Amino acid sequence: MPRTDMMKEKGLTLVDAINEALYQEMERDERVVCLGEDVGLNGGVFRVTDGLQKRFGADRVVDTPLAESGIMGTAIGLAMGGMRPIPEIQFEGFLGPAYDQLTNHAARYRTRSRGAITVPMTVRVPVGGGIHAPELHSDSPESIYAHTPGLKVVMPCTPYDAKGLLLSAIRDPDPIVFFEPKRVYRSYREQIPEEEYTIPIGQAKVVSEGTDITVVSWGASVFECLAALDKLPEDVSAELIDLRTIYPIDQDTIIQSVLKTGRCVIVHEAPKTCGMGAELSAIIQEHCFLHLKAPVQRVAGFDTVMPYYKLELEYLPNAERIGEAIVQTLSY
């Protein structure tokens, strides 16, 4: 939606930035169709699509029944027919019912038809914990989709990155799972360009430069990492990388950083086993083995089901756990 006075003065939240990207791309390209549960009249469960139906009509911002498999399948059919659908799945756990369509169809059409049929679709999904929601509403399944050939997986955490990456995603000819860390939907405002801009998918961002240790994270955990870095002794120079795109992984940025620092801590909310931290650790040992001064550490969720809200902060990586891992790695 057009910017309010408050946005002009104080900047945009993640929700505002995503809404602005959707608004601008729907203005620019009439093939763009948003569809999902309550995305229209009600503006979405997190109000991300607020105002879009009023502006673009119910034919382009389509309220659907609670039927994720039908939503995803219909969106794939729309994409095959030439449109640019943006289905919204309300919570990452609800990808379960749509999993068949997403992984067995969307991800595979380019291969299965050998380039004849493609699925330019951006699936928007709020992700992660920290909003006092139970499991299925607080999970971090990004590695499942990164492990699915044919899908790109994006997870920005700042308003600036969200807008630029969403515009890239919608224009990308391949299917993209666009995870939106719901914990930071409204926690942070940022002044970002009003005009449209894109950020290439597959490029990590160096949030702060440093020489002693590399910290890699993505999603809401990036803010926990920033808090942890703030508490480090002044003589520690830490480099923080926000992965932004989960797949394809920006190997070069990580490798270059670890070659420089010789140490790495990876932070994510998802369970530790087979999380993206495992993949990144493997990449680092493949490329930086002789430069490593300490084992790569992972600060992650546990291999348990995301707990209910009273315990969620014990589950999620916090500044304290991240700080401890950094200190341990530095003193190895």
Partner 1 sequence: MPPRGVILGLFMAQMTTDTHSGAGLRKARTHRVSDALPGETLIGWLKDMLLIREFENRCAQAYQQAKIGGFCHLYTGQEAVAVGTIQSLERDDPIVTAYRDHGHALARGMDPGACMAEMFGKITGCAKGKGGSMHMFDKPNWLFGGHGIVGAQTPLGTGLAFAARYEWEVMGKPCPNPGVKPGDKPKKKVSLAYLGDGALNQGALHEAMNLAGLYSLPVIYVVENNGYSMGTAIERGTTMAHDLRKKADAYGIRGEIIDGFDVIDLYDDFKPVVDWCRENQRPAFVDLKTYRYLGHSMSDPQKYRTKEEVDQFKGKDSIDRLASQLMGERKGKDGKPILSETRFTEIQAEVKEAVRKAMDFAEESPTPEVEAELYSDVFINPQPNLSPTRDYIHGVKNPLL
Catalytic residue ranges: 137
Q: Minimum distance from CB of 81 to partner 1 (Å)? A: 3
- Span 135-154, contacts to partner 1 by CB under 8 A: 149-150, 152
Cβ-Cβ contacts under 8 Å for 23 (sequence gap 6 or more):
1, 2, 51, 52, 55
State the Rg of the chain over Cα. 20
18 binds partner 1 (CB under 8 A): no
Q: How far is the CB of 208 from partner 1 (least distance, A)?
A: 25
State which of residues 20, 60, 217, 241 lies at the interface with partner 1 (CB under 8 A): 60
Of 72 and 157, nearer to partner 1 (C-beta) is 72
CA angle 137, 143, 146 (to 5 degrees): 120
Q: Count of residues binding partner 1 (CB under 8 A)?
A: 50
Q: Which of 68, 12, 1, 58 is nearest to 33 (CA)?
A: 58
Q: Confirm or reject binding of residue 101 to partner 1 (CB under 8 A).
A: yes
Residue list 189-218, contact with partner 1 (CB under 8 A): 202
Phi, psi of 231 (to 5 degrees): -90, -5
Instruction: Using alpha carbons, select from 35, 155, 20 the residue that is nearest to residue 92.
Output: 155
Show the site string, 102-121: x = touches partner 1 by CB under 8 A, - = not: --xx---xxxxxxxxxx---
Residue among 9, 100, 209, 320 that touches partner 1 (CB under 8 A) = 100
Least distance to partner 1 from the beta carbon of 197, Å? Answer: 21
Cα(40)–Cα(104) distance, integer angstroms = 28
Among 18, 166, 249, 284, binds partner 1 (CB under 8 A): 249
**What is the spatial distance between Cα 15 and Cα 139, in angstroms, rounded to a whole number?**
19
Angle at 183 between CA 179 and CA 187, to 5 degrees: 115
For residue 104, the 8-state DSSP code is: I
Name the site residues for partner 1 (rule: CB under 8 A).
30-31, 33, 57, 59-60, 62, 64-65, 67, 69-83, 85, 97, 100-101, 104-105, 109-118, 149-150, 152, 173-174, 202, 248-249, 251
